[in-house]
A and B are shown apart, each in its own frame.
Chain A
Amino acid sequence: MTHNIYLYILVAAAVSFLIRVLPLTLIRRKIKNPFIRSFLYYVPYVTLSVMTFPAIITAPKLPLAGILALTAGVAAAWKGVNMMGIAALCCAVVFICEMAAPYLM
Chain B
Amino acid sequence: MNRNKNAFTNGIRDGIPIALGYFAVAFSLGIVAKKAGLNPFQGFLSSFLNHASAGEYAEFTVIMANAPYIEMAFVILITNIRYMLMSCALSQRFDPGTSNAHRLLVGFGITDEIFGISIGRIGALNPYYNYGAMAIALPGWSLGTALGIVAGNILPASIVSALSVALYGMFIAIIIPASRTDKIVGGVVIASFLASFAVSKIPQLDRMSDSMKISLLTVIIAGAAAALFPSKDDDGFDIDKKEEGGSRI
The interface of chain A, by Cβ under 8 A from chain B, is 1-3, 5-9, 11-13, 15-17, 19-25, 27-28, 30-31, 34-56, 59-62, 65-66, 69-70, 73-74, 77-78, 80-84, 86-95, 98-99
Any A CB within 8 A of the CB of B222: yes
Chain A hits for B146, CB < 8 A: none
Contact of A41 with B165 in the complex, beta carbons under 8 Å: no
Contact of B72 with A91 in the complex, beta carbons under 8 Å: no
Query: A12-B56, A84-B25 provided; 15 other pairs, C-beta below 8 A?
Result: A6-B45, A9-B50, A12-B59, A22-B84, A24-B106, A37-B235, A40-B81, A40-B84, A42-B185, A43-B218, A48-B175, A70-B168, A77-B177, A83-B169, A86-B173
Q: Tell me which of A8, A16, A25, A27 contacts B100 (CB under 8 A).
A: A25
Contact of B107 with A86 in the complex, beta carbons under 8 Å: no
Contact of A59 with B164 in the complex, beta carbons under 8 Å: yes
Bound CA span A19–B86, Å: 10
Bound CA span A31–B82, Å: 13
Contact of A89 with B218 in the complex, beta carbons under 8 Å: no
Instruction: Kindly identify, within residues 49 to 67 of chain B, every residue whose CB is under 8 Å from any CB belonging to chain A.
Output: 49-50, 52, 54-59, 62-63, 66-67
Contact of A90 with B172 in the complex, beta carbons under 8 Å: yes
Bound CA span A89–B167, Å: 12
Number of chain B residues whose Cβ lies closer than 8 Å to a Cβ of chain A:
100
- For the complex, would chain A's binding face be called helix, strand, loop or mixed by DSSP majority? helix
* Whole-angstrom distance between the Cβ of B45 and the nearest chain A Cβ: 6
> Of all chain B residues, which has the CB nearest A59?
B164
The interface of chain B, by Cβ under 8 A from chain A, is 21, 24-25, 28, 37-38, 42, 45-46, 49-50, 52, 54-59, 62-63, 66-69, 72-73, 76-88, 90-92, 94, 96, 100, 103-104, 106-108, 110, 157-159, 161-180, 185, 188-189, 192-193, 195-197, 200, 210, 213-214, 217-218, 221-223, 225-227, 229-231, 235, 237, 239
Chain A hits for B82, CB < 8 A: 40, 43-44
Chain B hits for A28, CB < 8 A: 91-92, 96
* Whole-angstrom distance between the Cβ of A81 and the nearest chain B Cβ: 8
* Whole-angstrom distance between the Cβ of B42 and the nearest chain A Cβ: 6
Contact of A20 with B72 in the complex, beta carbons under 8 Å: no
Number of A-B contacts (CB under 8 A): 303
Contact of A16 with B170 in the complex, beta carbons under 8 Å: no
* Whole-angstrom distance between the Cβ of B120 and the nearest chain A Cβ: 17
Interface hub of A36, A70, A77 (most chain B Cβ within 10 A): A77
> Of all chain B residues, which has the CB nearest A48?
B171
What are the 8 A-B residue pairs with the smallest beta carbon separation, nearest first? A21-B107, A77-B176, A49-B192, A90-B169, A13-B49, A87-B169, A38-B226, A95-B162
Contact of B174 with A48 in the complex, beta carbons under 8 Å: yes
Contact of B222 with A42 in the complex, beta carbons under 8 Å: yes
Chain B hits for A56, CB < 8 A: 165, 168
A21 and B162 in contact (CB under 8 A), knowing A16-B49, A30-B239, A87-B169? no
Question: Can you list 11 A-B contacts with CB-CB less than 8 angstroms, sorted by A residue number?
Answer: A8-B72, A12-B56, A16-B83, A24-B106, A30-B239, A44-B174, A45-B179, A46-B217, A48-B54, A50-B213, A86-B173
